[in-house]
Copies of this chain bind each other. A is one copy, B any other.
Amino acid sequence: MKIAVDAMGGDRAPEVVVDGAVQAARDLGLEIVLVGQKGVVQAELEKYDTAGLPLTLIHASQVIEMDEHPAAAVKAKKDSSMVVGMDLVKRREAAAFYTAGNSGGALAASLFRLGRIRGIKRPALSTIFPSETPQGYSFLLDIGANADCRPEYLLQFAIMGSAYAERVLGIANPRVAIVSNGEEEGKGNQLVKDTTVLLKASTLNFVGNAEGKDLPRGLADVLVTDGFTGNVIIKLTEGVAKFIKDMIREEITSRGMSKVGGLLAKPAFDAVGRRTDYREYGGAPLLGIDGVVIVGHGRSDARAIRNGIRMAAQTVENGVLEAIKQGITRYQQ
């Protein structure tokens, strides 16, 4: 299977991207097509012993920067690594595209070049969210593709999220909840109330509202929300986790007595770090696009890149696109 990788996307591209791509080719036996500025990517590749590895390079002269306006940049830069990479998927020369670049750009480029799956009104950015389910996480969407949503979008997010959870995460009959301001039925803003009617009428395994404190508790496998709230959720989770860890560290270093304790407790802290680390999961699938696109965190390191490429391969292997297409037909009138 051939995966196209945006060599220019991410805060430390192309260095860490090439590093991660080499790892993916070596460890996972995946065929990788690096897309980017030939000279700089080639120079990075030469740092590694890539003899015999299924790694190729396709030139793209332009780069969509992290701070550019997504839609404008995608339209202006037809030879950007992001657009060229999407086109490889469109022409079926690659099975999937992975980028750790500008996520708005990835969304715009995928909409322009690959388009939406027939029947899907809006694509959604989704992510693994650490929680106390048996598998150790829930699947959350939308986390930022659509700041303003309609009930039909959220129903479709639930369908897409269920398809992904079943196919890639291996969760049978995934429990779907809608994020709300209260767990009781009837709580919610108008969007939640209207979506609830649609979710109840569907054949999805809808379990009701999930309020903020329940999100890490794993009461549902798929958590559906609008892209505004979803974005606040993932970034706040990151912020609070950092705040608590910093505070514990600060308290430990400011106390003579517990300094030793801090050192001895370090392995536990590290384990917690691993369990809440986005790098373990590698990326956010962009669901609803007619092609497999995974968007990595801009801060991704080589390991996150490698895992993101693996996620792209798993999404292809497990037929997520087909499952979404079937789901849209099955669950909707």
Residues of A within 8 A of B (CB): 67, 130-132, 144, 147-148, 179-182, 184, 187-190, 192, 211-217, 226-229, 231-245, 247-248, 251-252, 255, 257-258, 260-269, 271-272, 275-276
* Sample (8) of A-B pairs whose CB atoms are under 8 Å apart: A144-B182, A212-B236, A212-B238, A233-B236, A247-B272, A258-B265, A258-B267, A264-B264
A248: which of B131, B216, B232, B269 is its contact (CB, 8 Å)? B269
Q: Which residue of B lies closest to A252 (CB)?
A: B268
Nearest-CB residue, chain B, relative to A263? B261
CB distance from A151 to the nearest CB of B (A): 14
Known: A147-B181, A232-B211. A130 touches B243 (CB 8 A): yes
Apart from A212-B238, A261-B266, what 7 extra A-B contacts exist at CB < 8 Å? A144-B181, A181-B232, A181-B235, A182-B231, A212-B233, A251-B268, A251-B269
What residue of chain B has the Cβ atom nearest to residue A264's Cβ? Answer: B261
Among A131, A132, A258, A269, find the residue whose CB has the most chain B CB atoms closer than 10 A: A258
CB-contact partner of A211 in B131, B231, B262, under 8 A? B231
- A147 to B: closest C-beta gap in Å: 4
A45 to chain B, nearest CB (A): 34
Is the beta-carbon distance between A258 and B251 smaller than 8 angstroms?
no
- Across the interface, do A252 and B265 meet the contact criterion of CB distance under 8 Å? yes
